[in-house]
A and B are shown apart, each in its own frame.
Chain A
Amino acid sequence: MSGIREMSTGIGTGVREASGVEPFADALARHGLSLGRDRVHTLQVNTGYLCDLRCRHCHLEAGPDRGEVMSRETMEAVVSFARRFPFQVIDITGGAPELIPDLPFLIEGISSLAPRLMLRTNLSAMSGTGRESLLSLCVAHRIVLVASFPSTNPSQADAQRGAGVTETAIVVLKRLNAAGYGVEGTGLELDLVVNPVGAFLPVSQETAERKFRADLLRKWGIAFNRLHTFANVPLGRFRGWLLQTGNYERYMKTLVMGFNPAAVERLMCRTLLSVSWDGFLYDCDFNLAVGRPLGDRKVHVSEVHELPPPGAPIAVGEYCYACTAGSGFT
């Protein structure tokens, strides 16, 4: 939805101007929907907020000065948790997981516990010294690498992630291709994640994938498997930027206008559990960012004896609109 026609008739629709955004729970109710859990099949492990970058869209406000990192003791509890319950996917994220000293311990511990193990990387953190052994470990365990690459335009990507980051990312992507990642027939999957570099919604996944595939090949000879587009979530550093630049209100209206009832059923929070760096459970990484634990009660993975049943409620906030705009956040 864009262009003069849409802008002229759409802005303001469904938004309570005086008090701001309609509460997400009200929007669900208005559409006759509720957000409850489905069968859990994915465990997302947030290894902490330490990161070599300080991205302006980061909902967790990760950065080099953050000291919250997953200890080996917590990793042991997470491995034990993953052994007790059958997850189809385990998704390691951060911060920059590569910076966590015991990451290989975690990978070794959980790689056999789920058919699909994913590691999110900002690419920059994969370029440091000693990362060759981590890459070898990823290859050995057939870990799916999910790399952030917001734009094929370096000036825009660097504006979001930091000066020179795109140049480093391209070097790392070439290195990953050389190791077989993203190359057909190797079985080593390299996916890209594209977040808009500003206060606007992402293009559809199919369109972005087609364009990035052509651009990356033409400009740098880089290949990848799949691409995911996600809207930026108005939390943390991104929310601060929106407010600081006067973009917050319009961005929220854009998210609210883009509310897609059909996306609710497919939301990742319905089938995912997020475990924080210190071992507590959340519905998703965004509820983790705002400190709203699963079931509104902090429970450590070591104390969990059953997964939340289908139908269990999921805590929501106005940031949830980022996951239901357009085709949604799945």
Chain B
Amino acid sequence: METYFDPADLAAFGDIGKDAPELAKKFFDYYAEVFKEGELTEREKALIALAVAHAVQCPYCIDAYTRASLEKGSNLGEMTEAVHVAAAIRGGASLVHGVQMRKIAEKLSM
């Protein structure tokens, strides 16, 4: 194995069903249902997935949902803003823990 992430591995995602086919089927059925148009459009769901893909830093998901977002009709401006939303939440999640830091520091400090 030369790298941990190989783009070709994405096409083998279905192999996860080997040795546990029922669980995989339940997951993929659920997955397919989640991304169907409901209260949110397929385009909006793909944009959310793109943002989450960046938050969880999944290269497969970034590949898949960059393509999906383009094919569902999002433009680069919207996709870039979605990534900024992910960045803001990730950054904010770190920063808001500063409140804990300050509370603890205040308790320990004179």
Residues of A within 8 A of B (CB): 2-5, 7-9, 11-12, 151-153, 155-156, 196, 198, 200-203, 207-208, 211
Contact = CB atoms under 8 A, between A and B. Distances in A.
Nearest to B49: A3
Nearest to A196: B70
Contacts of A201: 71
A200 B71 contact: yes
Given A203-B43, A207-B43, A5 B73 contact: no
B10 A7 contact: yes
Contact of A2 (B11, B60, B72, B75): B72
Given A3-B49, A151-B75, A207 B64 contact: no
Contacts of B42: 207
Nearest to B66: A200
B61 interface: yes
User: Which applies to chain B's interface (DSSP): helix, strand, loop or mixed?
Assistant: helix
A7 B41 contact: no
Contacts of A8: 10-14
Interface string B1-30: 000000000111110000000000000100
Nearest to B60: A4
B10 A207 contact: no
6 contacts: A2-B67, A3-B46, A7-B13, A11-B11, A155-B77, A207-B73
B42 to A, nearest CB: 8
A271 B97 CA distance: 66
Interface in B39-74: 41-43, 46, 49, 60-61, 63-65, 67-68, 70-73
Given A3-B65, A5-B32, A153-B77, A198 B43 contact: no
B107 to A, nearest CB: 46
Given A5-B32, A8-B13, A211 B73 contact: yes
A11 B75 CA distance: 24
Given A7-B64, A211-B43, A203 B73 contact: yes
Nearest to A9: B14
A226 B28 CA distance: 37
Contacts of A153: 75-78
A5 B46 contact: no
Nearest to B69: A2
B47 to A, nearest CB: 12
Contacts of B28: 5
Contacts of A207: 41-43, 72-73
A206 to B, nearest CB: 10
A152 B61 CA distance: 25
A196 B77 CA distance: 15
Contacts of A203: 43, 71-73
B31 A5 contact: yes
Nearest to B53: A4
Nearest to B35: A3
Contact of B76 (A2, A7, A156, A208): A156
A208 B13 CA distance: 30
The 3 A-B residue pairs whose C-beta atoms are closest, nearest first, are A8-B13, A203-B73, A2-B68
Nearest to A11: B11
Nearest to B16: A8
B10 A3 contact: no
A114 B60 CA distance: 52
Given A3-B68, A4-B60, A5-B31, 15 more contacts: A3-B35, A3-B49, A4-B31, A4-B64, A4-B65, A5-B13, A7-B11, A7-B64, A9-B14, A156-B75, A196-B70, A200-B70, A202-B73, A203-B43, A207-B72
